Chains A and B, each alone.
Chain A
Amino acid sequence: MTRLLALLLLAWAASASAHKASTSYLQLRVQGEAVSGRWDIALRDLDYALGLDTDNDSVLTWGEVRQQRTRIADYAMSRLTLRADQDDCRLGVESLQIADHSDGRYASLALAGACPHEPVGLGLNYELLFDVDALHRGLLNLEFRGTHSGLLAPEQRTLRFNAAGASTFSVFNQYFRAGVSHVWTGWDHMLFLAGLFLPAVLRRKGCAWLPAASLKVALTDTAVMATAFTLAHALTLSLAATGLFSPPTRWVESGVAASVLFAGLNNLVPMVYRGLFWLAAAFGLVHGAAIAGALIELGLPAGDRVWALLAFNLGVEAAQLAVLLAVIPPSFICRRSVYYRWGVLVPGSLFITVVGLLWLIQRAFAIDLGIPSS
């Protein structure tokens, strides 16, 4: 009977209650790569989560809080992740002070840190206290190319902010750079391109190796391949990033691995010689679908989707052409040398083949072989 009463009285009296539930206040400022901020968390909540009242006298003193600074900081930092595009930012507690709020005293953590690069899109993941208090909320105030505010709740633990509100030029600039960095930091993209470029100056035909006739031919061949790849890449990327087409990740990722494997193998045991750009285009379709996921995570600015997609693809193309311009002329000069053949082309292709094979096994069968993907 008593237990029943506690319940029904709650329902009968629910209307009378007006009281603030547990709330934390998170202020962050992201400027370039640097991150700074302040995070106020109620001492009552920290005590409930961590047991700060070490002498159990139901009174929390500054001494008890100060001595447990590290515990508080570690706990708070384990519940907050800031990501610049796909990479985690480093964030730490500089100092712990006390702040007075309308409903009691809070620990005020001064935050400082840095992102690995200036973010295009900023992602924030917040997990404070949700495991013990389902009504806890985080109120975010963010300065990141303008001021944003956000509410964090158990059903909304992640917030994303992108270049919305930025000028069209800066959207273009940011997404172009994201495209460039996708090529330069994405191992699978690089390896696939290397697989295509390596034989541009020296091709195996039957049992013989044929050096390319002229630099112009070598450059044109590879540029055509790279562009065919980019165009196909742009097609699936745009379809997937705008949500018109969403292929299963596992198959797409396995397809990318298969393309790397094929590119490497084709240099060692040629299967396709002519119209390599069709092959490049076919694999471009697969690669485009694969990186759409990353681009979706980055977020597309609502008003500037077309610009952002175009900029991203142009960035990919520019990076590829730059790689090609840097690599093809020196290899062209060395193409007749035996070192190029046995020191670069064959071991390089072998490496690409092996990595492609391992990736394929890893992704298609979901076995972790410890090979980094990007």
Chain B
Amino acid sequence: MRLGRIVLTGLWVVATAAGADPPYTPGSDSEVLERLVVPRLPGTASLRELRGHWAAQPTLVPAALAYARAALELNRREEDPRYLGYAEAALAPWWGRPLAPPEIVLLRASLRLARMDHAEALQDLQALIDSPAPEGHAARITRAGVRLNQGDPVAALADCTAAAGHVSRLVAVTCAAAAQGLAGDAAPALAALEAALRDNEGAPLATELWARGVAAELAQRLGRSPEARRHFEDAVRRMAAADTTDPGLLASYADFLLDQGEARSVPALLAPYPRQDSLLLRLTLAERAQGLAGDAAAAAAAQEHARRLALRFQEMRQREDRSHLREQALFELSVVGNPESALQLMQRSWAWQREPVDARLYLRAALAARRPEAALPVLEWLRRSGLQDVRLQPELAAAQQQAPSR
């Protein structure tokens, strides 16, 4: 029965997507159809100019690298996979070749990670680590991120340690703190990271934002909300001053505010980014919370945004993308109210991603679906890794309560 309903809902969405919105002719020539936000990269040529150099000689390594790097940098700020697609197109001549210049292999590994081609990305990273090329150190830091993502803090820490002497102190400490924090040593890891942040006033902005994001995450796991808030606020201030964005950090901050019951503060933070699905999702959650508290305008906005998100997830599924499973699970659980579907998505996603945020979402979905036994892999993983996270306590307690009743 339930499956039938899911299928029907799916069909309804397909039908609306296919027949959605008949085309129309705008009323006047001056009507604005699209704002083409291609931010200029400070100190370099525009993406278009770099593309011109690349298109003139697409097999020339420096031109392809410059274009692909600029596209990646834009993706970091905009979180728009179009830029990843541009970068991948630039690397096309080397895409399937095991032997390519190390700078190319490093970029290729990152792009493969973004498409969730973990096995191939890890091969690329291993090849760089085994080679004498200086890119091997960056490869280790990248691989540490993958290991953490897959819930293997021990292997991640080994990579952070091996790269430590060859990258800046803040990078090395952030990497190690993220790994140690996952392995059960969150308090000393946070202390070391805060010390490194204090000493590194002149660090590049991107590094600092990353470090502050990790620090805020560690503080939250330890239940130190004021400290987490301070890191988030510092990061947002620095971001605004430099006129840049870090969508990943903004999403974490919004999650923090929602956890703290401060949905009211979220729209001001996220309203400028309706194009980024992960941010639109948080905005919708906040509007929904405000709507439940009696704000009719917020409830209406939540409904409209939910409709848009449903379409986007549907389209990503048709595209056979895999990178959206976690976000879609959050959407199904907290916006649509379909815990069964959220649980199925998390079960698929768990094969790729095992971070504390995944564990928590998985547990919440299993509890809401009244299937605590489905969360067994998560409970086992938590026991093995020794992860400390106060945010997980309510779910773990509820799981223990629910389990005997079944």
Contact = CB atoms under 8 A, between A and B. Distances in A.
Contact of A58 (B26, B36, B92): B36
Given A5-B207, A141-B18, A10 B312 contact: no
A75 to B, nearest CB: 15
B138 A98 contact: no
B312 A103 contact: yes
A20 to B, nearest CB: 5
Given A3-B69, A20-B315, A98-B23, A133 B86 contact: yes
Contacts of A110: 23
B24 A61 contact: no
A139 interface: yes
Nearest to B276: A19
Interface string A83-102: 00000000000000111111
Given A15-B149, A62-B28, A141-B18, A9 B210 contact: yes
A136 B107 CA distance: 19
B97 interface: no
A14 B323 contact: yes
A133 B87 CA distance: 8
A21 B114 contact: no
B110 A10 contact: yes
B275 A60 contact: no
A246 interface: no
A23 B30 CA distance: 26
A334 B247 CA distance: 87
B275 A103 contact: yes
Given A9-B210, A10-B114, A98 B33 contact: yes
Given A98-B23, A135-B81, A18 B319 contact: no
Contacts of A27: 18
A17 B323 contact: yes
B18 A151 contact: no
Contacts of B33: 43, 60-62, 65, 98, 105
A105 B31 CA distance: 12
- Interface of A, secondary structure class, is mixed
A326 interface: no
A65 B28 CA distance: 12
Interface residues of A, number: 63
B89 A131 contact: yes
Nearest to A6: B73
Contacts of A338: none
B11 to A, nearest CB: 12
Interface in B25-69: 25-26, 28-38, 51, 69
Given A7-B142, A97-B25, A53 B210 contact: no
Interface stretch (B258-266, B286-294, B324-332): B324-332
Contacts of B110: 7-8, 10-11, 14
Contacts of B312: 20, 102-103
B277 A20 contact: yes
Nearest to B163: A8
A275 interface: no
30 contacts: A2-B206, A5-B207, A8-B110, A8-B141, A8-B142, A9-B206, A12-B145, A14-B113, A14-B149, A17-B247, A18-B323, A20-B312, A47-B34, A48-B82, A53-B36, A59-B34, A61-B31, A62-B26, A62-B33, A98-B33, A99-B21, A102-B312, A105-B33, A131-B89, A132-B86, A133-B82, A133-B88, A135-B85, A135-B88, A135-B115
The 5 A-B residue pairs with the shortest CB-CB distance in the complex, in nearest-first order: A63-B29, A135-B85, A134-B88, A108-B23, A133-B85
Given A60-B36, A135-B82, 14 more contacts: A8-B138, A11-B114, A15-B149, A16-B247, A20-B319, A22-B81, A44-B82, A58-B38, A61-B29, A62-B29, A66-B29, A101-B21, A132-B85, A134-B89
